[in-house]
Chain A
Amino acid sequence: MSDFLSESFFHNFNIQENIQEETGNLVSYIKGNVINPIFPDFPMELGTVLAMLVCAGIFVAVVPLLPLVLVLAERKVAARFQNRTGPMRVGPWGTLQTLADGIKLIFKEDFIPQQGDKLLFRLAPYIMFACSFAVFAAIPFGQNILVSDFNIGIFYIMAISSVIVMGVIMAGWSSNSKWSLLGSLRSAAQIVSYEIPLGLSILTVIMLVESLGMREIVENQSGGIFTWLIFRTPFTFIAFFVFFISAIAEVNRTPFDLPEAESEIVAGFHTEYSGMRFALFFIAEYANMFAVSAIGVTLFLGGYEGILPGYDFLGGLPGFVLKTLGLVFVMMWLRWTLPRLRVDQLMNLCWKYFIPISFFNILGTGIWGLIFKDDDVWSMGISCAIIYVCLIGVYAVAGRNLARRPEPQTSSA
């Protein structure tokens, strides 16, 4: 295992060989179309490095705009759910509100607790920020819009997003505040636990695709909506929901926002943060939210592939972003509907429900793979039929009486 890892890992970073072979990614595109024509005399290595820097520049410039948009979207969506209008004052329809908030945060006092661990306190937001950004390197936004097509793409994403918890714990510990500590430890327990169902759900996909590379996963789903991995087997259908809910837990959003549960532990791990450092947490949170949605789309909802094989409807970069924003909207929808779980119930949900279900999925996917050797119309048709029948069956047989509205209780009754 370790041999395999180190081999593939270093293989991937063997720039000279690798880049020459790879053609489809953003780095090689920029190198071929921008760097080389402008500086034809550059040595190849320098050109590659320059192209990488340009790529990084693009992402560092573009990705912070996502939270900028998403924060506003969240506030507007929340407002609509609550019959309000949301921010309306700054700019037309309040569209510049996040910008104004950002400017305010930049100018705020940069407060560091005197008794806190100052180094860690400074470091924590950057770790979170950097990790949430690094995830974007492996997300295929489009056919060629991909910074690097690792052959271990999804593995890399899992690894990087796990480091986020380090930032949370560092923030909570270094603040020297009890609320922060409680929040960060909650977060640690939560993220570590929910990595498991998340990883296991991803495993079902990997079993079907037989690859860890993000682009390969997407291209495996190029045959229209029924080849999307969510519909490929009934088990991936379940796995998608397990993945999605675990992802919500991973990014600490309601109903799993215990690390920053404002009504319980004030603001959790970022209680003591202010100004730009707080803004970094905030940006990281929303970038994460977008990132996990994008991963969900890549893995289960066809990535940049469209609904129909030949056509580009819901495909390409716009389709990808649209699908991702759809998942983000569902996250917001859930957030503004549901109350928050308690910490032990959170663990219950993970260990008693999601992990067994995930194992069941893996088992089922394996058996499915044995029965239907290759994905053809038959397997997909059967899969969709099973999903449909199961949904209808659960609705009809189990009936509404399982979750009926509690009757009014009175003394006379």
Chain B
Amino acid sequence: METTQQTESKMIELKPFTDEMVVNMGPQHPSTHGVLRLELRLDGEVVREAIPHIGYLHRCFEKHSENLSYPQIIPFTDRMDYVAAMNQNWGFCLAVEKLMAADEKKDFAVPERAEYLRVLICELNRIASHLLSFGTYGMDLGAFTPFLYAFRDRERLLLLFEKVCGARLTYNYIRIGGVSEIIPMEPGSIDEQDFLDEIEGFLDYFEPKIDEYNDLLTSNSIFSERTMGVAVMSAEMALSYGATGPNLRGSGVDWDLRRDEPYSIYDRFDYEVPVAKDIPELGAVVGDCWSRYKVRMDEMRQSVCIVRQILAEGLPDGPVMADMKAVRPPKGEIYFRSEAPRGELGFYIVSDGTPKPVRVKGRSPCFSALSALQELSRGLMVADIIAIIGSIDIVMGEVDR
């Protein structure tokens, strides 16, 4: 007869009481991705508690928006997640467009050509954003070279953006009702063909590079030692903290707004959503730093796939801007979420029918993901904190807004 014996091996707890050390990591720190300040309570190398303090990059985006007209807010969304500014523009424009579409009197539709351009540019921007995430993650873990490789490739994308909208980082390209016409690109013109050819050239160059980066960093044994099995965020935990995007998919939850709540024209493309899985032979656990990172690497491939489909179809003819006189949404409120590179970017807008919103709220994916840091980091080591911050891929501009 079996007794309920304790079969687990008893841990012998040595408790040599040492003083805890309280250390400030940041706001000026090389790897807190901007101005995050972490208050670490350390027991030697072991982190007892890591309390994130935010707000060092707070620029009153939401309050400021109340005094601006809708088109004026778009450049400010650039400054939220400055790494993926196109997607931020788009998120805001989608929200305003949906609010305007509620007005039945006005016939309002975003032209087809604009939709294609938006998807094209935003997917390229997603690649640029994930490249930066990959590079900085490598640098956080001590490998400097992937960082510069990532920047080298991102530079080519930035040159493309520069050609299409005249800016490298704060694009202000996607407008309410279409895309910017500041640099005209006639349908079927040589300009357009050059532009598409250049994108194709980039994709041809870039696709083998993903494999190279996987060889260089992803499958490197030091890298996988550092990241696999570290800071496992279970699916429940990810959901309860509101982690979204690659962080959520890294925890094994199959959820992508582009596929599950398709907006714009995402339902026309054929692509897959990377979701992390256990890889026992490598040692990767769903929800660890490596999975979150790997989802980003795989997403780049999917973005390439989407862009290739657009290139195969070609851009449709027509205008790039909806025909409308002024942006004056009807009275009402809207919450619209879209899939930015870092997760679900939501905008909540209250309008009273005037050209200026009454209230704008941005739902930042990084903020939600960062809130999980405290729980994730408990009992890990100082070096792991860096690995977590890099793997949840925060941009402080978006966290603080």
Q: Are both chains from one complex?
A: yes
Chain A's interface: helix, strand, loop or mixed, by majority?
loop
Residue contact A339 to B217, C-beta cutoff 8 Å: yes
> Would A409 and B382 be within 8 Å (CB), given that A83-B148, A403-B219 are in contact?
no
Near A by CB (< 8 A), chain B positions 290-335 give: 294-295, 297-298, 301-302
Identify the stretch in A18-26, A214-222, A226-234, A263-271 within 8 Å (CB) of chain B at 4 or more residues. Answer: A263-271
Residues of A within 8 A of B45 (CB): 182, 186, 343-344
Residue contact B275 to A410, C-beta cutoff 8 Å: yes
Contact surface of B with A, Cβ cutoff 8 Å = 21, 23, 29-31, 42, 44-45, 138-145, 148-149, 152, 211, 214-223, 225-226, 254, 272-277, 279, 282, 284, 294-295, 297-298, 301-302, 381-384, 386
Question: Nearest Cβ distance between residue A344 and chain B, in whole angstroms?
Answer: 7
Known contacts A263-B386, A264-B31, A264-B383; 15 further A-B pairs (Cβ under 8 A)? A84-B148, A255-B142, A261-B142, A263-B139, A336-B144, A337-B216, A338-B142, A338-B220, A340-B142, A341-B225, A342-B225, A342-B381, A344-B45, A409-B276, A410-B275
> Would A265 and B214 be within 8 Å (CB), given that A338-B222, A411-B274 are in contact?
no
Residue contact B142 to A406, C-beta cutoff 8 Å: no
Contact of B23 among A83, A179, A338 (CB under 8 A): A179
Residue contact A263 to B140, C-beta cutoff 8 Å: yes
Residues of A within 8 A of B142 (CB): 254-255, 257, 261, 263, 338-340
Q: List 27 A-B contacts (CB under 8 A).
A: A83-B148, A83-B149, A83-B152, A182-B23, A182-B382, A261-B142, A261-B383, A264-B31, A266-B29, A336-B144, A339-B138, A339-B142, A339-B223, A340-B222, A341-B222, A342-B225, A342-B383, A344-B45, A406-B214, A406-B282, A408-B297, A409-B277, A409-B295, A410-B273, A410-B275, A410-B302, A411-B274
Residue contact B211 to A405, C-beta cutoff 8 Å: yes
> Would A78 and B273 be within 8 Å (CB), given that A342-B226, A406-B219 are in contact?
no
Quick check: is A375 within 8 A (CB to CB) of the other chain? no
Nearest chain-A residue to B302 (Cβ)? A410
Nearest chain-A residue to B290 (Cβ)? A406
Most chain A CB neighbours (cut-off 10 Å) among B215, B225, B273, B302: B225
Quick check: is A262 within 8 A (CB to CB) of the other chain? yes
Residue contact B220 to A339, C-beta cutoff 8 Å: yes
Give complex CA distance A84, B151 in Å.
12
> Would A409 and B141 be within 8 Å (CB), given that A261-B383, A266-B30 are in contact?
no
Interface string of A336-355 (1 = CB under 8 A from B): 11111111110000000000
Residues of A within 8 A of B225 (CB): 341-342, 345
Chain A contributes a number of interface residues (CB within 8 A of B) equal to 40
Residue contact B274 to A410, C-beta cutoff 8 Å: yes
Residues of B within 8 A of A408 (CB): 274, 297-298, 301
Residue contact A263 to B31, C-beta cutoff 8 Å: yes
Minimum-distance CB pairs A-B, first 7: A340-B142, A410-B272, A263-B31, A339-B143, A82-B148, A339-B141, A408-B298
Residues of B within 8 A of A257 (CB): 142
Give complex CA distance A242, B107 in Å.
74
Give complex CA distance A411, B302 in Å.
12
Residue contact B275 to A406, C-beta cutoff 8 Å: no
Residue contact A405 to B145, C-beta cutoff 8 Å: no
Residue contact B214 to A405, C-beta cutoff 8 Å: yes
> Would A336 and B145 be within 8 Å (CB), given that A178-B23, A342-B383 are in contact?
yes
Nearest chain-B residue to A261 (Cβ)? B142
> Would A265 and B254 be within 8 Å (CB), given that A338-B220, A345-B225, A409-B274 are in contact?
no
Residue contact B145 to A265, C-beta cutoff 8 Å: no
Question: Nearest Cβ distance between residue B227 and chain A, in whole angstroms?
Answer: 9
Near B by CB (< 8 A), chain A positions 248-266 give: 254-255, 257-258, 261-266
Give complex CA distance A376, B60 in Å.
80
Quick check: is A412 within 8 A (CB to CB) of the other chain? yes
> Would A406 and B145 be within 8 Å (CB), given that A266-B29, A343-B45, A345-B225 are in contact?
no
Residue contact B294 to A409, C-beta cutoff 8 Å: yes
Question: Nearest Cβ distance between residue A350 and chain B, in whole angstroms?
Answer: 14
Near B by CB (< 8 A), chain A positions 325-381 give: 336-345
Give complex CA distance A185, B142 in Å.
19
Residue contact B219 to A405, C-beta cutoff 8 Å: yes
Question: Nearest Cβ distance between residue B34 and chain A, in whole angstroms?
Answer: 14
Question: Nearest Cβ distance between residue B97 and chain A, in whole angstroms?
Answer: 29
> Would A345 and B29 be within 8 Å (CB), given that A264-B383, A403-B221, A406-B282 are in contact?
no
